[in-house]
Amino acid sequence: MDHSVIQHRLAIDVGNTRIKLGLFASPSSRKRGELPMCVERTSLLPNELLPWERLAGWQSAATNWLPTVIAGSNPTGVERFKSVWPSSLGPVPRTIANTDDFPLPICVDEPRRVGIDRLLNAVAVNELRSANRPAVIVDSGTATTVDVVSAAGAFEGGAILPGLALSAKALHEYTALLPLVSVPELGQATPEPLGRNTRAAIRSGLFWGQLGAVKELIDRQVGLDTEIFVTGGGGALLAEHLPRARFEPHLPLQGLILIAELGDHGH
């Protein structure tokens, strides 16, 4: 990697459950297969205090600071975040929303209705996947998405199902007695398939049910030559049990940085 000129940029992804913020470093020229490197990252719930002091510290430590960019599957949250942006951190973040300008064909019925986070994942994976090989992207967040990028680099669509936390919340809120099981609790250890108490049974159903659905979708969508990339808050849990899978925790933010770089160059 050419480190002659390192540029830093803050990327913000406003999701339905969390706001993810990452500081990324990129050389002025980068080879295919390399993504911007995450230097600092934090995430918070929408009602948490925004970490302006922490961001100011990131900014003071970074060189060649480029304008901040923001996107997300929660447009109202994006606008709310921008409305309280302090001038001390520079210009208000630039919103990335027009997916028509993304550098990949979107081969679905209604391209403009595809969630931007799914397309940002695809932009990043197009840099990572081997040439002439398709890829599957599993993003385990509020919803879990299982999407396909063709060997030619096109977004081909995929599947959307409730994520781990959303499934746990539904079990708790729509029953009288079932307790709420959190994603961190799921991550303490791989659940035993045979749960011998209610909590253990929920952990088993949530984890193995989610993993089974993802595996089935991968098998039905693609062939054996396909590369598998996993991201999202529950992604590390799933990736351990997906053969050939590569866990990439920062895909949406890295895709956002790549789109911002295209804008810098007037593409």
Distance CA 141, CA 43 (A): 13
Considering only CA atoms, which of 118, 98, 121 is closest in space to residue 263? 98
Distance CA 245, CA 100 (A): 29
The SS3 call for residue 92 is coil
What backbone phi and psi angles, to 5 degrees, belong to 144?
Answer: -100, 130
- Give the strand pairing for 37-44 and 227-231: unpaired
Indicate the DSSP class of residue 49. Answer: P
Q: What is the dihedral of CA 238, 257, 99, 79, to 10 degrees?
A: 90
Considering only CA atoms, which of 99, 111, 128 is closest in space to residue 259? 99
Distance CA 10, CA 22 (A): 6
What amino acid positions are annotated as catalytic residues?
117
